[in-house]
Every structure is written in structure tokens, then in C-alpha cells.
Structure 1
Amino acid sequence: MTPIAQPWIGGQWAPVASRAVAESVDPSTGMVLGQFTDADVGTAEAAIGAARHAFEHSDWAHAPRLRAAVMLEFANRVERRADELALLLAQETGKLLKPAQAELAGTVSEIRFYAGLARTIFGRTTEVEPGALSVLSREAAGVAGIIVPWNAAAILLVRSLAPAMAAGCTSVVKMAPQSALFQTELLRCLTEVPNLPAGVVNFYSCTGSEPSESLVVSSDVDVISFTGSVRVGQRIMASAAPTLKRLNLELGGKAPAIVFADADPKTIAAQLAAAATIAAGQQCTALDRVLAHESLIEPLRDALAAHFRSLAVGPATEPDSMMGPLIDIANRDRIARLVDQAHEQGKVIVRGEVLDGRLARGAFIRPSLIQVDALDSPFVQEEFFGPVLNLESFREESEAVARANATRYGLSASVWTHDGARARRVARAMRSGTVWINTHNKLLPEAETGGFGASGYGRLHGAEAMLEFLETKHVYEDIGRVKPRTEPT
């Protein structure tokens, strides 16, 4: 029988009867993997109501030891099911099996990190005048609406949910329809924790926008944490304005890598190619632009082209695959059209072909290497979210930094050089939330990530992510002072 992933609301699985059902498709094969309940506005409102009730009537927000214990058990249950979950992640989203396994390991680490932080929420007290105390405490912000994507379906979910739970918030998670089966199974590990209070975490998936909009406009939701496109982020900002709720937004990226003349093209080409094709380029931190010193343009171009041509593209679950499919046929064809248009603005060094034969039913396309120098070109300015890498040149350090900063995005970047002072100097000058030196795509639970400019605002991962879900309260009291004892004469 085909599995049907259901919403979890108020500590119960919501019944499927009378609700619309949508299908989840394996992008490697085009075959239906299963079904999920396609939630409506009523589902979203029920989830919000359950989260609000749990926040106001349970001990969750005031019980850090309980929160830590629940999260540690959640992590343990994910760890026990890691192999099974990684396989489902690979099948449903097209992520290669080994990276999927690594993502599950990172997910466990992330949950445990915030489980530890749950017991470290301290305030401070200061005596501002004699006998007058100002007590400042951290309190949970309330109900968190968490809207997550499919492209890193485990880690991008828990990097919002885990700090929200640790802070004492209750949550409503709107899962991505492309990864509804996997995310439901991941969160099933949490629903099975015996001492999780009903309504603390609720989740559903939907194909339409209305249930997500319900989260954004509701006066019972205090925080929205969203990962996705700039366009949707802008809509969320506009819709959230009437309720003045707090927003945490991680949006698009157009990650550049600056490669200086002392770098070895043959040595780094494989790393750059891997950075550009991670998750088939469907990752907001994936490498989109290589800014190479003019002396390296030809050798680096040839080395990258060789790697792209030899890259083994295939099903996510096959061990020899070095890049999997895009999430669906529509996005595969969108990328193919974009590459065709590159001829009009520059050179196409390697044109990624749509694959046929045994892979024809999947969303497979080979990676493309293009060379467009005009800074106002869409190939420099726009996030494509696919395996397309643009090669550009520069002469001076200042020009490299100026080119790197010439887009509206500022999520991630990298610098490649053996000159340590130059690497740190350039990293400081780049308008980017994360800059890697001689590597790319190193993301850690302990280190905050987030964007400058149109890449959004707020930070997730690291200790600062807790601040997105906490309020600071000031309580003032003049308690006076004990008068000195008067000694008898």
C-alpha cells in the first residue's frame, strides 16, 4: 500500500479522510514514491492553535531540562534510523546517498548542539542605583512558524526547529512538498519521544501557498523562520508587516570564488567543480562564479572543463554517481534554456546536455561551464539554482573584491590563495555572511550562517540562532537597602 504522510497536530496524526492527497516523485526515475496529505488553510490554523495552546498552557517554555531531554532523545532516534532516512532523502530529493548520509549525521550533531544550549539561557542583574535592581531575562518569543525547503531537507529543517525548541518556543513546521515523505519520517522520530508535550511541535505539507500565508499573517505566530527564494521572502515581509512579527530570512545566493595567481589550477579545479555541483547546484551556498586572475583564466578554464566533462551524472542511490538529478523535469528544462541563452552574452565552454537513454525519465542534465564577464548580465547577477558555473577574470585585488561584491547577494564566498594575509584581507572586504579560505561549503552547527543584502537577515546555526527565538525582558525593582545597625552608646 502506498504510504501517505499525514500532518501532526496537537500530538496526533491528522486523519487523511476528506483531505486532498498529493504525490511525491523520485527525480532520478520519475516514479511515484508515495503520497502526502495536501494541507489546506484549516490544517494550518489548527496547527497554529495547537502551538499557541501548548505555549500558553504547558511547562515547555519554562522547563529547559525537559527541552534538553526531549531533543537528546530526538537526536538518538534519528541516529538509529539514519541509514533508512538517508536512503529516503536520496530517493525523494535526488541528493547523492553519501552526502545524504553526511547530512543525517550533521542533523544529529545539530540537534545535540542545541540540546546543550537549552540549559544555558541565563540573564543578568545590575544594581543601577543603590537598592535599585534591573533584572534582564531571556524568554521564549512564542510560536515559531518554520517554512523549510527541500534541497537540504534535514539540516535546513532542524537548524530552525532545534534553536526554536531550545529557546522554549512551540512550532509549526510547513514542510516542502518535494520532500514531504522524508521530512515527515524525520519528524516522526520527534513525535515518538514520550515526554514531548502535545502541541509543542506541529507540522504539515502543502502544494499551495495559502497554508504558508496563514502562518505569516496569523497574530498567533510570533516568529517566522524562512529559507527560500528572494521573491518569496519579499512576499513574506509584506504579509508579515501588519502583525509586526519577527522575521528570520535566509534567501538566495550567488557565491563567488576569488582565485589568485598563486593558486594551482590543477589542484583546486576538482574542489571548485565539486562546490559548483553539490546537490546538482541546488544549494544556496553552491559555487556560482569563479573570479580568476587573468594569468589563470586559460589553465583554470581547461581544468574545470575537463572535470565537468568527466563528471559521472546518475541516480542518487548509485555509488558511482558524482552528481544526481535536479529536483524535477521543469527545473532541468529551465537550466537547459538558460545555458542556451549564454551564447548571446559570452562563451559556453561546456554545454550541459540533458541525458537520455536509461536516464531519460529522470531530471538529469550535465553541468555547464560558461564565461560571461559583463557585470550587468543575468549570468552574473541572478541565482540559477542549478549546475551552471560562470568564469570571470580580474587583474588586481581591488577589482576582484569589487566584482565579488557587485551582486545584490551576500550569502557565501571563498578565497583561494597561499598568501594568508591576502586571504584574510580579502575575506574582510567581501560583503558576505560566510567566507571560506581555500575550501567551499563547510557548514558547521557551531558557526552562524546568514546573508548580507538580498540574501536575507538573521543567523542560524551557532549560539546566535537562539536569539532569533528569544525575547529580552527587563524587570526593575527598587528593593532598598538594609540600613546599617546603630550601635548603642
Structure 2
Amino acid sequence: NYPLQMAAWKILPAVAAGNTIVLKPAELTPLTSLMFAQAAKEAGIPDGVINIVNGAGKTVGEHLVGHPDVVMTSFTGSTPVGKRVAEIATATVKRLHLELGGKAPFVVFDDADLEAAAHGAVAASLINSGQDCTAATRAYVQRPLFDAFVARVAELMETVRLGDPFDPATDLGPLVSHRHRDAVAGFVERARGYATVVTGGEAPGGDLKDGAYYRPTLITGAAQDSEVVQSEIFGPVLVALPFDGDDEGIRLANDTPYGLAASAWSRDVYRANRATREIKAGCVWVNDHIPIISEMPHGGTKASGYGKDMSAYSFEEYTQVKHVMFDNTAVAAKDWHRTIFGDR
């Protein structure tokens, strides 16, 4: 997702809690982690505290997770790989922190500010080209607003400018690789058989044809149990579905294996509070979607994993609580000894 930021999320609380750390970055994005370690060395962090090891997950990653000298593993990535990490860790009863996939619902109630919700949905579904486990992926919109919401989101998506990320005029850059771009396109192409692609749904041509670009995509008409609704696509693709009553909207929001992030859009504080209580996710925003501040914990539930990054809660992932007790009375016979010595 964000290789430098995620390296910091792992390294800083672990070291601050008194540990040394070995970080294995994703194979496609190792350079910023190496730069981070170099900067730490230049800042005076002793050798051996922050260690970076590159390589493939199936070899280097699995070796690290299974090694008996590694007492805790913190992993960010897909749910299937997270399950494999957990499987390996059981051999040494290793402590785990798993931040896994997401399929964040974006629930728009019929009293919401339509323009705010539409802008929020476009920004939250396209951030980092959709390569964000908390990105808005499923927009559930109460029926009175549904058609207007779809029309406005499509209109806004069509204004998004693809291009070189170093160009200030660019809104949306490429995906991490051509292979991943093709995987995202595969979800959309299969969806054409059972849903409607309102806008996008293709790679651009022209000057961008050789890059791993994919146009912002909006899909409607998909069933709740369809692949594009249930599976993590991890690209610039938003699926919109209507709902009627509030009960249905919250039920649909919870109806995937994931539980990382969600948002609720409403002018009614009671309605919004109910959504924050009943939507099963580690983070629920109200009238916004995506901002994460370091003072608050980040982590999920269900198939999105467990444990927290960021905030003071992250220290708990990298510490072991130890109970130590001293008796300074020098009394030989203590009151609790009656359980052995009776009335003697």
C-alpha cells in the first residue's frame, strides 16, 4: 500500500518498546525500507536494532515467521497470506499481529449530504489508485438517493486525470504492476456478465498505454453475493448497491468476511451512532472516509485480522506483560498459608 509509511508503522513502536526488529518488505517495493534503515543508522541507531531483509515471501518471509528466535510477527497483507503466516507461527506458538484485507462499506442514508457523499466516495475509492485496504469499495445508498448518487459519482470519476504521479496535474497514477492491473481488470471483465459498468472499466491508451494504469470504475447491478461485492479487488473500482431500511443497510455492510473499515453518511446523529455501534469494523468514520490519524489505532476484526497499528495501542503488540511481586514483610507464616497448615 504505502511502503515507507508501513515500515514506520512496524519499526517505530517495536523499537520504542525496547525490541530489535527484522523487517521484510514486499518484493515489489523494498527501496524505501532500505532508505529508512540507512537514515536510522545515520541518526545514531545502533547496528542490529533495525534490520531489513529482502526476498520472496515464500522463502525469506516464511523462514522468518517460523524461526524460533523470532518471538513475535506483525504482518500487513492479504487475508490468504495472513492465514499462511498464522499457520507457520503455530509451530512455535508465536505471537501475531495481522492487518489483513478489507472490503470497506460506504453507507449513505437518505438524509445524507449527497454532494459530500459523492465526493467522499470518489476520493475514498481512488486513493492510492484504490490500493488501500480501507478504501471505499462497496457503496450502499438508500434508494431515494441511489440514482442521483450513481450519476454524480460517475460524473466525478470521469474528471479524474490519469498520468505521471510526479506531475502536479495528475490525479491518479498507475497500479503497482502490470500483473496487478490485469488482475483488477479481470474482476471488472467478469462482472460485465452479471452487472453494469457505468464508467471506466478499461486501461487507457495513448501515452499511458504502456503503464499499469486503469480508469476509475463504477459498477452497479451486482448481487450482494457476487465476486465484485465480496472479494477484495484492490484497485480503482467502486460497486454501488441500493438499500431500503436502515436495518438492511447495516446488514449489507456487515455481509462480507472482512471488518477493517467503514463509513456512514447521515445528518442524524442517532442514525450515525447506531451505524458506528453495529457495523463490524475496526474503524467507522461518519461523514468522511479514509483519514487515519496516528493518535488513533488502526486494525480490524473478522477476516481483516487482529491487533493494532499506530497510537499507544500499538505498543501493546510489541510488549509482553510480566507480573513481578516482592514480599518485604519477612513474615514466615502468612495468612494464606492456612490453606495448607489449617489452624496451626
What TM-score results when the alignment is normalised by the length of structure 1?
Answer: 0.66
- 2:296 is aligned, of 447, 453, 469, to 447
Per-residue CA shift, 1:284-303, capped at 9, x if unaligned? 01110100000111100000
Q: Report the Cα distance in structure 2 between the residues aligned to 1:192 and 1:403, rounded to whole angstroms.
A: 51
- 2:42 is aligned, of 192, 213, 218, to 192
Structure 1 counterpart of 2:25, one-letter code = M
Higher strand share: 1
3-state SS, counterpart of residue 477 of structure 1: coil
Q: Report the Cα distance in structure 1 between the residues aligned to 2:114 and 2:328, rounded to whole angstroms.
A: 69
Q: Give the corresponding residue for 2:12.
A: 162
Q: CA deviation at 1:362?
A: 0.9
Structure 2 counterpart of 1:473, one-letter code = K
Matches within 5 A, 1:184-333: 184-194=34-44, 196-207=45-56, 209-333=58-182
CA contact (8 A) 1:413 1:436 kept: yes
Q: Give the corresponding residue for 1:176.
A: 26
**Which stretch has the larger CA shift, 458-467 or 259-268?**
259-268
Q: Report the Cα distance in structure 1 between the residues aligned to 2:310 and 2:119, rounded to whole angstroms.
A: 28
Q: CA deviation at 1:278?
A: 0.3
Q: Report the Cα distance in structure 1 between the residues aligned to 2:248 and 2:310, rounded to whole angstroms.
A: 32
In structure 1, the gaps of 5 or more residues are: 1-150, 483-489
Task: Confirm whether residue 343 of structure 1 aligns to residue 192 of structure 2.
Answer: yes
Distance 1:353 1:169, change over 3 A: same
In structure 2, the gaps of 5 or more residues are: 332-344
Structure 1 stretches of at least 4 aligned residues deviating more than 6 Å after TM superposition: none
Structure 2 counterpart of 1:249, one-letter code = L
Q: Report the Cα distance in structure 2 between the residues aligned to 1:226 and 1:267, rounded to whole angstroms.
A: 34
Q: Report the Cα distance in structure 1 between the residues aligned to 2:37 and 2:162, rounded to whole angstroms.
A: 31
Q: Report the Cα distance in structure 2 between the residues aligned to 1:363 and 1:411, rounded to whole angstroms.
A: 27
Q: Report the Cα distance in structure 1 between the residues aligned to 2:255 and 2:290, rounded to whole angstroms.
A: 21
Structure 2 counterpart of 1:344, one-letter code = G
Q: Report the Cα distance in structure 1 between the residues aligned to 2:247 and 2:63, rounded to whole angstroms.
A: 46
Q: CA deviation at 1:314?
A: 0.9
Matches within 5 A, 1:407-486: 407-480=256-329
Q: CA deviation at 1:436?
A: 0.4
CA contact (8 A) 1:254 1:289 kept: yes
Q: Report the Cα distance in structure 2 between the residues aligned to 1:181 and 1:475, rounded to whole angstroms.
A: 43
Matches within 5 A, 1:138-149: none
Q: Report the Cα distance in structure 2 between the residues aligned to 1:341 and 1:210, rounded to whole angstroms.
A: 33
CA contact (8 A) 2:108 2:117 kept: no
CA contact (8 A) 1:257 1:413 kept: yes
Distance 1:340 1:379, change over 3 A: same
Q: Report the Cα distance in structure 1 between the residues aligned to 2:28 and 2:166, rounded to whole angstroms.
A: 17
Q: CA deviation at 1:481?
A: 6.5
3-state SS, counterpart of residue 466 of structure 1: helix
Q: CA deviation at 1:220?
A: 0.1
CA contact (8 A) 2:3 2:30 kept: no
The alignment yields a C-alpha RMSD, in angstroms, of 1.3
Per-residue CA shift, 1:218-271, capped at 9, x if unaligned? 000001000000010000111110100100000000001110111232332122
Q: Report the Cα distance in structure 2 between the residues aligned to 1:227 and 1:293, rounded to whole angstroms.
A: 33
Matches within 5 A, 1:356-367: 356-367=205-216
3-state SS, counterpart of residue 47 of structure 2: coil
Task: Confirm whether residue 354 of structure 1 aligns to residue 211 of structure 2.
Answer: no
3-state SS, counterpart of residue 263 of structure 2: strand
Q: Give the corresponding residue for 2:338.
A: none
Q: CA deviation at 1:476?
A: 2.5
Q: Report the Cα distance in structure 2 between the residues aligned to 1:268 and 1:238, rounded to whole angstroms.
A: 40
What TM-score results when the alignment is normalised by the length of structure 2?
Answer: 0.93
Q: Report the Cα distance in structure 2 between the residues aligned to 1:324 and 1:186, rounded to whole angstroms.
A: 24
Distance 1:165 1:208, change over 3 A: closer
3-state SS, counterpart of residue 324 of structure 2: strand
CA contact (8 A) 1:154 1:186 kept: yes
3-state SS, counterpart of residue 177 of structure 1: coil
CA contact (8 A) 1:254 1:409 kept: yes
CA contact (8 A) 1:255 1:287 kept: yes
Task: Confirm whether residue 369 of structure 1 aligns to residue 223 of structure 2.
Answer: no
3-state SS, counterpart of residue 436 of structure 1: strand
Q: CA deviation at 1:373?
A: 4.2
Q: Report the Cα distance in structure 1 between the residues aligned to 2:238 and 2:70, rounded to whole angstroms.
A: 40
Distance 1:441 1:267, change over 3 A: closer
Q: Report the Cα distance in structure 1 between the residues aligned to 2:8 and 2:88, rounded to whole angstroms.
A: 25
Q: Report the Cα distance in structure 2 between the residues aligned to 1:182 and 1:399, rounded to whole angstroms.
A: 44
Per-residue CA shift, 1:352-400, capped at 9, x if unaligned? 3211211122111101100144221111111000011000111111111
Q: Give the corresponding residue for 1:404.
A: 253
Structure 2 counterpart of 1:361, one-letter code = D
Q: CA deviation at 1:155?
A: 1.5
3-state SS, counterpart of residue 205 of structure 1: coil
Structure 1 counterpart of 2:21, one-letter code = S
**Which stretch has the larger CA shift, 240-249 or 175-184?**
175-184
Question: Identity, % of aligned pairs?
Answer: 39
